[in-house]
Amino acid sequence: MARVLLRLLAGLVLVIVVLLAVLLFNTLRYTPEAPVASGEIYDLGADIEQATKDLSDAVTFRTDSTDLKHPDFAAFLTFIETRYPLVHSTMSREVLARKTPLYMWQGSDPNLSPILLAGHYNDVVPIAPGSHDLWEHEPYSGVIDDEFVWGRGTLDDKGAVIAMLTAAEKMIKDGFTPKRTVYFSFGGDEEVGGLGAMAVAVHLNQLGIELDWMLDEGSFVLDKVIPGLDQPVASINLSEKGYVTLELVAKSAGGHSSMPPRVTAVGRIAKAGGRLQDTPVPGGLSGLSEEFFDTLGRHFSFEQRVVFANRWLFRPLLENILSGSPTTDAMLRSTTAPTMLTGSSNDNVLAAEASAKINFRIHPRDTVADIVAHVRRTIDDAEIEIRYDESLANPASPVSSSDATGYSDIKSSILDARAPGHGARADHRRHRCTALRQGRQKRLPHQSVQNRRLGSGAVPQHQ
Ligand SMILES: [Zn+2]
């Protein structure tokens, strides 16, 4: 008997030793991929102080989405015309619908299909009524302090527009001509429908132009945002989450609150909301989010790398950890956010109708119908009606390929700018890093509209 036990014990020890060896082997091999060799590196060396001033000035134009007739829209286009004279004398420009300029920088090789770099200069929404006192600096002041440029639109998205114009102006000044034709479009209504962007698409289509790839606004360089990582992370967004708001409606006879039925309309809705909150839409680490964490995981400490490198064993643990933070949880699944409730207007009157609005950001693996089915199944209450406005419901965008040339071009240019020993001169690298930190908006609760694009949906799109 003792001998059998001993053998079992020896067997167990052997299994553990082999397991540890496999874990160790995988972890030691799990290192950052070598930087991708890029083509010719263009050492920009732009005047960052001037660019900072340009951004500060750009912020002072009230290009607020709610009023496209505001004279500041036309004034902003004139401002960039005078501030970037070489861009305007070298490129052709057409102003399309919704005050959206489309620039064309003619390439030298007509055999290469063009690319499009897009941004927008209109701002999200006016500042929320009553929130003015919460601003440390005036929303349209463009104040430059030691660290940041302050104001509406610095991050979303005048910063990108100014960066593109600064780069192009400098490159033209240095005598550079791109091989591939480059288009730039700066939307005037991106936050309120994006008809300007549609006009660009229609226009290019009418000209028979097929783009090789395009890059629009998306995520940021996340500096000290990912716990456990000290170096900045540039996320290249390949998809955008979808969007649907479901309204749950329960009805009852109403009446006085002194003799309520056992289940009221408000109780029904509260229970349904609670169930939805307790039952996240099924998800997990797969597709783009797995690719994202596989890249990031290689930069973590040894102990953390053990987990990332051995997902075959630790996947449930890893998913559990990632689900614990709203930011990373949003990358694993479609998110559920109860946002609005209605009931009776009096504390002693039973509601004849109660409702809740639940907002979902849809992961590329789910459809709008999947979300409705999940809600129907989870609330398990046939008396509750589920409504939604189909015109406002969108599935996630198609997922762009990370194998495409555009992706590797963008990736290598980020590495050129940020990775030590990867091309650009060190002093310029440092300047560029600073430049990337210039944009800064004070975040306020009412900026939730913007979050649709920049919040959970934007997190490494890697969704
Ligand atoms: Zn934006």
Measured CA to CA, the distance from residue 295 to residue 238 in angstroms comes to 15
Domains defined for the chain, CATH in brackets: 48-237+399-454 (3.40.630.10), 242-392 (3.30.70.360)
CA of 124 to the centre of ligand 1 (A): 7
Residue-level pLDDT at 435: 29
Q: Which whole number is the average pLDDT over 427-452?
A: 30
CA of 389 to the centre of ligand 1 (A): 23
CA distances from 5 to 1, 12, 14 (A): 6, 10, 14
Name the one residue in this structure whose structure tokens are 């643990």.
317
Residue-level pLDDT at 428: 34
For residue 419, is pLDDT > 80?
no
- DSSP-assigned states of every residue in 337-405: EEEEEE--SSTTEE-SEEEEEEEEEE-TT--HHHHHHHHHHHH--TTSEEE--GGG-BPPPPPPPTTSH
For residue 420, is pLDDT > 70?
no
Quote the DSSP letter at residue 122: S
Residue-level pLDDT at 395: 94
For residue 461, is pLDDT > 80?
no
Active site residues: 123, 190
Residue-level pLDDT at 305: 93
Q: At 418, list the tokens.
A: 């940020």
Mean pLDDT (the chain, rounded): 85
Give the pTM: 0.76
Which of 86 and 253 is assigned the larger pLDDT?
A: 86
Q: Which whole number is the average pLDDT over 395-421?
A: 82
CA of 294 to the centre of ligand 1 (A): 28
Residue ranges with CB less than 5 Å from ion ligand 1? 156-157, 217
Mapped to the 3 state alphabet, what secondary structure does 226-263 carry? CCCCCCCEECCCCCCCEEEEEEEEEECCCEECCCCCCC
Distance, first Cα to last Cα, the chain: 55
Measured CA to CA, the distance from residue 412 to residue 347 in angstroms comes to 61
Instruction: Please list, residue by residue across 367-396, b when 16 or more beta carbons sit within 10 angstroms of its beta carbon and e when fewer do.
Output: bbebbbebbeebbebeebeeebeeeebebb
CA of 194 to the centre of ligand 1 (A): 10
Which of 365 and 218 is assigned the larger pLDDT?
A: 365
Q: Which whole number is the average pLDDT over 276-303?
A: 93
The share of the chain scoring above pLDDT 70, in percent, equals 87
Name the one residue in this structure whose structure tokens are 């559990």.
320
Q: Which whole number is the average pLDDT over 230-234?
A: 84
Q: Which whole number is the average pLDDT over 161-176?
A: 95
Confidence bin at 254 (pLDDT 50/70/90): confident
CA of 367 to the centre of ligand 1 (A): 24
The share of the chain scoring above pLDDT 90, in percent, equals 64
CA of 436 to the centre of ligand 1 (A): 16
Residue-level pLDDT at 191: 76
Residue-level pLDDT at 125: 63
CA of 278 to the centre of ligand 1 (A): 32
For residue 433, is pLDDT > 70?
no
Measured CA to CA, the distance from residue 347 to residue 350 in angstroms comes to 8
Q: Which whole number is the average pLDDT over 332-349?
A: 95
* pLDDT 10s digits, 21-76: 999 999 999 988 765 555 555 667 888 899 999 999 999 999 988 888 899 999 99
For residue 312, is pLDDT > 70?
yes
- Lowest average pLDDT, out of 291-305, 351-365, 436-450, goes to 436-450
